Chains A and B, each alone.
Chain A
């Protein structure tokens, strides 16, 4: 079992839809959770960063962490064509020299 699993997609939604992107993980030591957005032929850029469980909101984006279920989600409200990109979840455990563990990413397309 891989440490981080992410729905492979791709995912296509109409403009204005609510999008839910999810990752599951197996390592209970993970405490730090991130979502990255990657446009075609660009490097990943950080969207959301959360520590431990709970929700975090930033504009149209909400990150949710459920440590009891080992499940994280990214919700995008009122999705726009400009949200079309690949979304990667990433996780980290406490400690020196820790390394981010990434999901494989899901490609989202928002149709006008």
Chain B
């Protein structure tokens, strides 16, 4: 299995609070991605990174920010959580352009 660890695995938080999810990899891969997965929508890209301090927005980036200060860690922050951000969040990594992506086990976030 690719060395990807997501933390926490489960979280319940209140509306309006900030939340940070962590993705940690031991593969030294350049590319890292955050997706959310919801019934009827499949996997949707939130943000991605193509190197340390290099990030870009995906298709559903509103309300989310990311940071990547070192190769192995990619953080996803919900600035002020809303109920619409209740979802399962997946981190993925890729070693190079056009290679396969490897996924973490997911973080199940509930905003109440």
Instruction: Name A's B-contacting residues (CB within 8 A).
Output: 6, 31-32, 34, 36, 41-46, 49, 88, 90, 92, 94-100, 102-105
Give the distance to chain A from B55, nearest Cβ to Cβ, in Å: 11
Within 8 A of A (CB), among B22-74: 31, 33, 40-43, 45, 48, 50, 56, 58
Give bound CA distance, A90 to B44, whole Å.
12
Q: Which of A94, A95, A102 contacts B42 (CB 8 A)?
A: A102
Assuming A99-B48, A105-B43, what are 11 further A-B pairs, CB within 8 angstroms? A36-B103, A41-B106, A42-B106, A46-B101, A49-B100, A94-B97, A97-B31, A97-B56, A99-B58, A100-B33, A100-B92
Chain B residue contacts of A49, Cβ below 8 A: 100
Give the distance to chain A from B107, nearest Cβ to Cβ, in Å: 10
> Which residue among B31, B45, B101 has the maximum number of chain A CB atoms within 10 Å of its CB?
B101
Q: Which of B42, B45, B100, B104 contacts A99 (CB 8 A)?
A: B45
Contact indicator B42/A96 (Cβ below 8 Å): no
Contact indicator B56/A44 (Cβ below 8 Å): no
Give bound CA distance, A98 to B46, whole Å.
14
